[in-house]
């Protein structure tokens, strides 16, 4: 934000007591006593004073103790705080719902809805802030984006890094950049104070203190200050309110999580009195939606005297309004059943939970270094995650936790979740560093430095994508452009390729990538009969070029639908919700491409029309060429035995049954997703010519 806007922040900090703000103010007054009861409230002075003394505060406290909502408000009135406060979150759900909550608590409108708003949020594809925003909840990725524009984060007086125990790659990078800004890079702040708060439910305080301490010990460049020890770092612990929670294990491992979940949920529902909602942790959206359907079918046949069930799913791709529903109390004589991914583990506190069902797995990004591919895999959780999950049952009264695995398996789990940086593809992390002026990436401060080999591998991918200069590994123009897009290097490369004037297909490529960045558009009906019906209804959309062009044709057909888009989608077993997300992402990508000069300033978002038929072969060819430029590592050629093998790594992959190319034999394929279930599958597949791939090598 421009400087002059920051000046006016200070004048607008008093809530208006009449006019349209009166309602907001009433709400603020109602919430105040609730806030005062949060365990963190009694630590307010300690927190404020720590930060007057030191630069860094490591704050640990139970989930629900009030860290994410209260700490930024505590800091707002501190004398050193004349800029903004950033609060980073690993998930967009949390960033948005926290901003909404804190805006209410402060009696201010949310985000971009009013120029007077003092609380906003910024998540990928959705920036909702005003010139007067003082507290900004943002995803970790967005803070890293801001570092491109404002490398010393001069707009901010404080950065609060929340949920650090999740240890995403982005949070590790943020810690490195912040350490540099507080120590060796201090001069870049031009004397403006910067305070850093690191918060978490379970935090390895000692490790963090040591990490920052090491930074302070490096002699400050460009500053006369001498190296000093931990007088810069303080720690505070906030105790939680926790009632005892009993744990029940299965006697034997199960291979049918759905059935076991159903059994546990219905037994609990019949046996346990109200109030007392059930929270069940599941690995992903697909299983959540599947279980939700089955619960609803069974619940519809319950005897009239049994209380009702209200199922509420909770996962990252769910739209805001649906997420917000979990905070509302259950209607009378009704039990809420919340089906969640690990979002509800620490990110979002759901009130009313007395029973937790823990299936013991979580979906995590894993990098197969042998395959050179990244995949989301359902993996066993760590013990600390299991303990967090259990804790959700004991927030308001004694509770019960049902672990859908035997105790003998629990003791074998890892104690803590392995940081993502040790198990993911590092190319995005390295591109982020390079674009922010860190050339010597091997020496960037990281809490858990990955093996050098993994770093080198990622550098190689970036070189292959053409993002770095061959001689010295510095970032080049293509790399800079890629880094400005909030996408993985692969997807960003696709956009940069499509932005070349001779390609002339950027808008179509945006539509395809928008589909790839949301959940599945094509729903998968449960029964064979329905599957056939769905297939028939979608027939017009299927394109022989493959899944990417099929997605594009779906977007085009959807956007040209003028009467009832929801009905159109439902008739075809297409997720209307996913399509709405696609529309949103495509709008944002479109705006970003305009901003970067990839699209002309007056390019308007194609509403769509007869262009459905205009998808000629030349066009689809260009689109697939662009995809191949980015997904070069995800190409595979047909072998005489009928299998496909990746061109890099020579691994066998099969075309996923959900693909329109399933069962077809084409010379070569390019795929956008790699899934590993019973075997290695390519999902999101297009046919491509070998000659074309050769041309890129």
65 binds ligand ADP per the rule CB under 6 A:
yes
Q: In the numeric block, which tokens belong to residue 587?
A: 């709008």
Least distance (Å) between residue 105 CB and ligand ADP: 9
If the CB atoms of residues 174 and 429 are measured against ligand ADP, the closer one turns out to be 174
- With CB under 6 A as the contact rule, which of the stretches 81-89, 97-105, 126-134, 459-467 interacts with ligand ADP? 97-105
Least separation, in Å, of the C-beta of 305 and ligand ADP? 32
Of the candidate spans 57-65, 80-88, 494-502, 540-548, the one that interacts with ligand ADP by CB under 6 A turns out to be: 57-65
**Is there binding between residue 351 and ligand ADP (CB under 6 A)?**
yes
User: How many helices and strands, by DSSP H and E, does the chain display?
Assistant: 25, 21
Contact 483, 435 (CB under 8 A): yes
Q: Which of 50, 54, 60, 69 binds ligand ADP (CB under 6 A)?
A: 69
Q: Considering beta carbons, is residue 396 or 535 the nearer one to ligand ADP? A: 396
Q: Exactly one of 89, 264, 268, 349 binds ligand ADP (CB under 6 A); which one?
A: 349
CA–CA distance, 438 with 184 (Å, rounded to integer): 13
The H or E element spanning position 326 is: none
Q: Nearest distance from residue 58's CB to ligand ADP, in Å?
A: 14
Q: Is 101 in the site for ligand ADP (CB under 6 A)?
A: yes
- Comparison of 162 and 420: residue with beta carbon closer to ligand ADP: 162
Closer residue to ligand ADP, CB minimum distance, 144 or 197: 197
Nearer to ligand ADP, 61 or 83 (CB): 61
Phi, psi of 539 (to 5 degrees): -50, -40
CB-wise, 97 or 235, nearer to ligand ADP?
97
Q: Which stretch binds ligand ADP (CB under 6 A): 92-100, 419-427, 664-672, 686-694?
A: 92-100
With binding defined as CB under 6 A, does residue 64 bind ligand ADP?
A: yes
Residue in 54, 68, 342, 575 binding ligand ADP, rule: CB under 6 A: 68
Query: In the window 15-54, what residues touch ligand ADP (CB under 6 A)?
Result: 38
Helices (H), 63-125: 67-75, 92-106
- DSSP summary character for residue 443: G
Residues 6+ apart with CB under 8 A from 553: 541, 542, 543, 612, 615
Tell whether residue 327 is a contact of ligand ADP (CB under 6 A).
yes
Exposed / middle / buried, residue 677 (Cβ in 10 Å: 0-12, 13-18, 19+): exposed
Contact residue for ligand ADP among 6, 28, 67, 167 (CB under 6 A): 67
Q: In the sheet that 126-128 helps form, which strands lie side by side, from edge to edge?
A: 126-128, 119-123, 135-139, 84-89, 156-161, 195-200, 56-61, 233-238
Is residue 394 near ligand ADP by the rule CB under 6 A? no
DSSP conformation class of 546: B
Residue 91 Cα distances to 105, 122, 149, angstroms: 21, 11, 22
Judged by beta carbon, residue 99 or residue 181, the one nearer ligand ADP is: 99
Return the number of the residue (68 or 634) whose C-beta is nearest ligand ADP: 68
391 near ligand ADP, rule: CB under 6 A: no
What does each C-alpha distance from 293 to 129, 284, 287, 402, 519 come to in angstroms? 37, 15, 10, 21, 18
Q: How far apart are CA 463 and CA 164, in angstroms?
A: 31
- Nearest approach, Cβ of residue 349 and ligand ADP (Å): 4
Binding of ligand ADP by 97 (CB under 6 A): yes
Q: How far apart are CA 414 and CA 382, in angstroms?
A: 5
61 binds ligand ADP (CB under 6 A): yes
**Smallest distance from the beta carbon of 64 to ligand ADP, in angstroms?**
4
- 66 near ligand ADP, rule: CB under 6 A: yes
Whole-number Cα distances in Å, 529 to 298, 525, 532, 574: 21, 9, 5, 16
Query: Quick one: tokens of 446?
Result: 């990281």
- Bridge pairing between strands 135-139 and 119-123: parallel
Measured distance CA(402)–CA(599) in Å, rounded: 53
128 binds ligand ADP (CB under 6 A): no
Examine residue 200 and tell whether it contacts ligand ADP (CB under 6 A): no
Q: Is 72 in the site for ligand ADP (CB under 6 A)?
A: no
Looking up tokens 């998968």, which residue turns up? 524
- Residue with smaller CB distance to ligand ADP, 63 or 183: 63
Q: Which residues bind ligand ADP (CB under 6 A)?
A: 38, 61, 63-70, 97-98, 100-101, 327, 349, 351
């Amino acid at each position: 934000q421009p400087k002059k806007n920051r000046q006016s922040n200070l004048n607008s900090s008093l809530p208006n007591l009449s006019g349209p703000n009166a309602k907001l103010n009433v709400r603020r007054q109602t919430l105040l006593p609730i806030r005062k009861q949060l365990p963190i409230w009694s630590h307010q002075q300690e927190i404020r004073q720590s930060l007057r003394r030191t630069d860094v505060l490591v704050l640990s406290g139970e989930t629900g103790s009030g860290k994410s909502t209260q700490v930024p408000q505590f800091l707002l009135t501190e004398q050193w705080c004349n800029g903004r406060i950033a609060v980073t979150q690993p998930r967009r759900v949390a960033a948005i719902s926290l901003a909404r909550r804190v805006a209410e608590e402060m009696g201010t409108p949310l985000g971009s809805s009013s120029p007077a708003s003092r609380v906003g949020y910024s998540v990928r594809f959705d920036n909702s802030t005003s010139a007067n925003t003082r507290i900004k909840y943002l995803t970790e990725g967005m803070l890293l984006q801001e570092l491109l524009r404002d490398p010393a984060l001069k707009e901010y007086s404080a950065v609060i890094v929340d949920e650090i125990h999740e240890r995403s790659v982005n949070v590790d990078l943020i810690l490195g950049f912040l350490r540099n800004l507080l120590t060796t890079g201090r001069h870049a702040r031009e004397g403006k104070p910067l305070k850093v708060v690191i918060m978490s439910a379970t935090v390895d305080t000692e490790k963090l203190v040591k990490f920052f301490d090491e930074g302070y010990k490096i002699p400050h460049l460009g500053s006369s200050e001498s190296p000093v020890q931990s007088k810069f770092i303080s720690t505070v612990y906030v105790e939680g309110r926790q009632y005892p929670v009993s744990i029940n294990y299965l006697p034997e491992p199960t291979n049918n999580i759905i059935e076991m979940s159903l059994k546990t949920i219905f037994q609990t529902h019949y046996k346990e009195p109200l109030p007392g909602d059930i929270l069940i942790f599941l690995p992903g959206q697909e299983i959540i939606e599947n279980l939700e359907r089955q619960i609803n079918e069974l619940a519809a046949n319950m005897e009239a005297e049994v209380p009702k069930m209200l199922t509420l799913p909770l996962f990252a791709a769910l739209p805001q309004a649906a997420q917000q529903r979990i905070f509302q109390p259950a209607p009378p004589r009704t039990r809420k059943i919340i089906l969640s991914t690990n979002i509800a583990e620490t990110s979002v506190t759901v009130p009313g939970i007395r029973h937790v069902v823990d299936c013991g797995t979580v979906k995590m990004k894993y990098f197969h270094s042998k395959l050179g591919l990244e995949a989301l895999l359902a993996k066993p959780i760590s013990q600390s995650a299991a303990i967090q999950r259990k804790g959700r049952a004991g927030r308001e009264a004694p509770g019960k936790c049902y672990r859908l695995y035997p105790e003998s398996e629990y003791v074998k789990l890892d104690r803590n979740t392995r940081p993502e940086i040790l198990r993911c593809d590092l190319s995005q992390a390295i591109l982020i560093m390079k674009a922010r002026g860190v050339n010597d990436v091997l020496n960037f401060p990281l809490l858990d430095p990955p093996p050098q080999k993994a770093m080198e591998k990622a550098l190689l991918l970036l070189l292959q994508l053409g993002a770095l200069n061959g001689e010295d590994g510095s970032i080049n123009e293509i790399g800079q452009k890629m880094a400005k897009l909030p996408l993985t290097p692969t997807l960003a490369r696709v956009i940069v390729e499509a932005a070349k004037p001779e390609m002339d297909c950027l808008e179509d490529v945006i539509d395809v990538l928008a589909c790839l960045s949301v959940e599945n558009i094509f729903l998968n009906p449960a029964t064979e009969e329905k599957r056939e019906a769905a297939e028939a209804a979608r027939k017009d959309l299927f394109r022989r070029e493959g899944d990417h062009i099929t997605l594009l044709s779906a977007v085009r057909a959807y956007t040209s639908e003028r009467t009832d888009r929801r009905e159109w989608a439902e008739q075809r077993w297409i997720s209307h919700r996913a399509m709405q997300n696609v529309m949103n992402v495509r709008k944002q990508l479109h705006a970003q491409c305009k901003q970067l000069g990839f699209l002309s300033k007056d390019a308007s978002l194609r509403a769509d029309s007869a262009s459905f038929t205009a998808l000629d072969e030349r066009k689809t060819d260009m689109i697939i060429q662009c995809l191949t430029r980015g997904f070069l590592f995800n190409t595979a050629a047909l072998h005489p035995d009928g299998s496909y093998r990746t061109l890099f790594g020579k691994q066998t992959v099969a075309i996923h049954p959900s693909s329109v190319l399933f069962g077809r034999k084409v010379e070569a394929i390019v795929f956008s997703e790699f899934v590993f279930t019973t075997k290695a599958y390519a999902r999101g597949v297009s046919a491509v010519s070998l000659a074309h791939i050769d041309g890129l090598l």
